[in-house]
Amino acid sequence: MAHLFTSLQIRDVSLRNRIMVSPMVQYSSVDGYANDWHLVHLGSRAVGGAGAVLTGATAIMPEGRISPDDLGIWSDGHLEMLARIFRFIEDQGAVVGVQLAHAGRKAGTSAPWKGGQPVDESDGGWRPIYAPSAIPFDQTYPVPATMTKEDIQRLIMAFADAARRVQEAGGRIVEIHAAHGYLIHQFLSPLSNHRDDEYGGTFINRTRFLCEVVESVRSKWPESYPVFVRISATDWIEGGWTLEDSVALAKQLIGLGVDVVDCSSGGLLPGAKIPIGAGYQVPFAERIRRETNILTAAVGLITAPEQADQIIRTGNADLVLLGREFLRDPYWPLHAAIRLGEENPVPKQYKRGF
């Protein structure tokens, strides 16, 4: 029976345990460049024993950033510092992953501690912002420009080019961000996609953009390395994307070479009534795993070692992703191993402290 500290082989990539650092945007870049903050933030979680470390949403194009301060991978110039960070993470025994993202109609906002609202062009923001349809996120956001088919093809190639850069920098996992109300999620949900062409309307049409992104990424990404897709398993809003849609999508993704579905939820519209509680999104990972046989990752208020271990032991998911808990404790896996009586992978430099 697998447990939290059982290794996991995905294609030719081996994770030392089932614990991953969830992508967490740091709002600490200038022009998309990584810096010493990212080295310490990501590197300390690798030192802390995580099986894999994912960067926060990393923009494939400058206009796809959530904020002007986001990490980017739209230029080969971004690779030098990323490669340094990735080498350090791998040296600590963790696997490096990059979450590839485009924010769509939610692009160009300020960091949370600056208010999290759309940034004016005079303050470093940009226009236009793009979406499948000209529907703003809410009344405080600008109306996005409807993407043309040429725009769609340009972005599909941008995802693939970004994946190629991840490999060149030394990353071994790419995660395509199709959740939280960002661009790909905007295509998936009928609440934000009102197109009447082959990218809108039916389920097959609304999932087409994501499927073509996956195919394009796979064309540039090594066959021996895994591809993850993060989804919002439900919009939590009547008439929106549902868990049943997510199951059907997962069945499509398997055939396209996706290895893991990372199961989050929400983010498409403000005001959704989400029943937040401990492990509240785990049932999404369990159902998708059970009905499709694809590997799944559970995320969302997973905090206690016993809770995380139980998720793996019961087969509810194959991986657990921790976010806020890793912000509170970069060494959570080391402490969890002690609590659970498992082998403790403490770095030799820290052994006298544990």
Catalytic residue positions, numbered: 182
Q: Which ranges of the chain does DSSP label H, i.e. alpha helix?
A: 36-47, 79-91, 149-169, 183-188, 203-220, 243-255, 282-292, 305-313, 324-328, 332-340
The number of CA neighbours under 13 Å toward the Cβ of 349 is 3
Q: CB of 321 within 8 A of CB of 299? A: yes
CA distance 36 to 42: 10
Q: CB of 307 within 8 A of CB of 278? A: yes
Q: CB of 19 within 8 A of CB of 333? A: yes
CA distances from 330 to 17, 112, 335, 343, 354 (A): 16, 21, 10, 18, 14
CA distance 161 to 147: 20
90 by Cβ neighbours in 10 Å (0-12 / 13-18 / 19+) ranks as middle
DSSP 149: H
Strand partners, 15: 8
Q: Which ranges of 100-175 does DSSP label H, i.e. alpha helix?
A: 149-169
Q: Which ranges of 137-273 does DSSP label H, i.e. alpha helix?
A: 149-169, 183-188, 203-220, 243-255
